[in-house]
Amino acid sequence: MSKRLQVLLPDQEMTEIQRLARREKLTVGEWVRRVLREAREQKPANDREAKLKAVRRSIGYSFPTADLDEMNREIERGYQN
């Protein structure tokens, strides 16, 4: 399902966008969709604060663990059985 998005731009900006779209042989709508997609892909899924909050929250947990070399040996033994 598609949704319509209305964005109001000053005439000068719209003229520039039309020029850019023409240069790439695209409609203005397709040019805007591509630019929005590219911008969305460049943004991280979570912002910095959300990541820091998750790291800080994880510090409070106490999960069992072992020496890295020991864990790797156990994993290898599991593959061999």
At residue 64, does pLDDT exceed 80? no
CA distance 58 to 61: 5
pLDDT of residue 10: 97
pLDDT of residue 63: 81
Distance CA 5, CA 60 (A): 44
Q: What pLDDT, in 10s, does the model give residues 2-43?
A: 999 999 999 999 999 999 999 999 999 999 999 999 998 887
Residue 81 has pLDDT above 80, yes or no: no
- 3 token code pair: 């949704």
- Measured distance CA(5)–CA(28) in Å, rounded: 13
